[in-house]
Amino acid sequence: MLAVSTLTAGYTGPAVPANAGRVAAPRMESVADFKGLAKDLNPLLGFWDPLNLAEWDYFGQGPDAFRGFLRHAEIKHGRIAMAGFVGYCAQANGLRWPGELNSPWLPAPGLTPPEQWDALSFEAKLQIIGFIGVLEIYSEHSVYLEKQGEKHYMRGGTPGFYPKFDDGFAHPVPIKSLFDPFGFLPKLTPEKKASKLAMEINNGRLAMLGIFGFVSAAKIPGSVPALSFIPPYSGDFMAPFEGDFTATITGPLFPNGPPHFFG
């Protein structure tokens, strides 16, 4: 298990104060907080930090800020991994949206999940990554955090908190809360909320290991015996734009080949 996976503590969830106009008081987690929750999440392993990351000052803003960064990173990547794990299973079993998807923008049926990404056009990949970038920028912006009574996670804010979409941001959206679109959280008791958020952390850790298991089994057949049924993948997971950029600039942009900037 990755060391960073044990470095999440005191996660109180993305609750928004009733008085959203007032900025929440900072609450920076200590190493003792980390150790306490680590023991609650995994009594067998407990607090395991061989690199002593909990006391690093990687960004030069103090170890408290870096602990906030680590905790937010684990929560966020755990959520992404859970979605990716379910998505991989669905796509690998041929589950697709209804309608014709065989177009220049979307891959044809019959491909494995990593092959589906490779089959996307360069423009489609840019659109996906650009959309993710917009969501990232919004979640980090102090203006939208402070409007909802929060601070940045490296300034004492709640790790894992994602602000509701502001009416003045870009354009109106039907879903105001990306994290809790159906409004379940306010109905939970504090005890139930703490229990579910602890479950989320553990499930996120398991999903991170699971998605890497899929990737390993596809790239190195036999490396994960329990996943030997996964079809092999001949591409490169670390080169998401392999062949795309060259094909684009040597096509409509530069018919005679890419320009040489350095002689």
Please identify which residue in the block is written with the tokens 């906030």.
Answer: 68
Domains along the sequence of the chain with CATH: 3-253 (1.10.3460)
pLDDT of residue 15: 38
pTM of the shown model = 0.77
Q: Over the stretch 155-176, which tens digit does the pLDDT of each residue have?
A: 999 899 999 888 776 666 677 8
Q: Which of 26-40, 85-99, 141-155, 235-249 has the lowest mean pLDDT?
A: 235-249
Sign of the C-alpha dihedral computed for residues 209, 210, 212 and 217 taken in this order: positive
pLDDT above 90 covers a percentage of the chain that reads 43
Question: Who wins on pLDDT, 9 or 229?
Answer: 229
pLDDT over 90 at 251, yes or no? no
Confidence of residue 111 (pLDDT cuts 50, 70, 90): confident
Percent of the chain with pLDDT over 70: 75
- Asked if pLDDT for residue 208 goes beyond 50, the answer is yes
Cα separation values, 102 from 74, 75, 112, 119, 247, Å? 36, 35, 15, 10, 20
**How many whole angstroms separate alpha carbon 257 and alpha carbon 249?**
7
